[in-house]
A = this chain, B = another copy of it.
Amino acid sequence: MKPVRLAILGLGTVGGGALKLLQENAAEIKRRTGREIQITHVGTRRPRPDLELEGIKQSADLLDIVRQPDVDVVVEVMGGIHPAYEIIMEAIKHGKQVVTANKALLAEHGNELFKAAEDNAVQIAYEAAVAGGIPIIKVIREGLAANHIEWLAGIINGTGNFILTEMREKGRAFDDVLKEAQELGYAEADPTFDVEGIDAAHKLTILASCAFGIPLQFDKVYTEGISKITAQDVKYAEELGFRIKHLGIARRAEKGIELRVHPTLIPDEQLIANVNGVKNAVLVQANAVGPTLYYGAGAGAGPTASAVVADVIDIVRDISYTEDGAGTIPQLAFEALTNMPILSREEMTTGYYIRLNAEDQTGVLADVTTILSRAGISIDAIMQQSRLKDLIPIVILTDPIVESKMDDALAQIQALPAIRGEIVRIRLESLDS
User: Taking the nearest CB of chain B, how far is it from the CB of A340, in angstroms?
Assistant: 12
Contact of A310 among B145, B148, B295 (CB under 8 A): B145
Contact B306 A147 (CB under 8 A): yes
Q: Which of A255-276 contact B (CB under 8 A)?
A: 271, 274-275
For residue A32, CB closer than 8 A to chain B, the reply is yes
* A66-74, A220-228, A330-338 - interface stretch: A330-338
**Given A271-B271, A329-B317, are A310 and B146 neighbors across the interface (CB < 8 Å)?**
yes
For residue A320, CB closer than 8 A to chain B, the reply is yes
User: Taking the nearest CB of chain B, how far is it from the CB of A267, in angstroms?
Assistant: 13
Cα–Cα, bound, A274→B271 (Å): 7
Chain B residue at minimal CB-CB distance from A336: B31
Contact B318 A290 (CB under 8 A): no
For residue A305, CB closer than 8 A to chain B, the reply is yes
User: Taking the nearest CB of chain B, how far is it from the CB of A54, in angstroms?
Assistant: 22
Copies in the complex: 2
Inter-chain contacts of A132 with B (CB < 8 A): 289
Chain B residue at minimal CB-CB distance from A284: B296
Inter-chain contacts of A330 with B (CB < 8 A): 32, 34
For residue A28, CB closer than 8 A to chain B, the reply is yes
Cα–Cα, bound, A142→B25 (Å): 15
Inter-chain contacts of A336 with B (CB < 8 A): 31
For residue A193, CB closer than 8 A to chain B, the reply is no
Cα–Cα, bound, A318→B148 (Å): 22
Cα–Cα, bound, A371→B353 (Å): 57
Measured CB to CB, the residues of A under 8 A from B are: 17, 21-22, 24-25, 28-29, 31-34, 127, 132-135, 138-139, 142-148, 213, 271, 274-275, 286-297, 302-303, 305-310, 312-314, 317-318, 320-323, 327-330, 333-336, 338
Interchain residue pairs with CB less than 8 A apart (18)? A25-B146, A25-B287, A32-B213, A32-B330, A134-B292, A135-B143, A135-B144, A138-B139, A146-B312, A287-B302, A290-B296, A291-B296, A292-B295, A294-B295, A295-B295, A317-B328, A321-B322, A322-B328
Chain B residue at minimal CB-CB distance from A333: B32
Inter-chain contacts of A289 with B (CB < 8 A): 132-134, 296-297, 302-303, 306-307
Contact B271 A275 (CB under 8 A): yes
Contact A143 B138 (CB under 8 A): yes
Contact B135 A306 (CB under 8 A): no
Contact B288 A309 (CB under 8 A): yes
Cα–Cα, bound, A375→B237 (Å): 50
Q: Which among A22, A33, A144, A289 has the highest number of chain B CB atoms within 10 Å?
A: A289
Cα–Cα, bound, A320→B335 (Å): 13
**Given A139-B138, A271-B271, A335-B34, are A145 and B288 neighbors across the interface (CB < 8 Å)?**
no
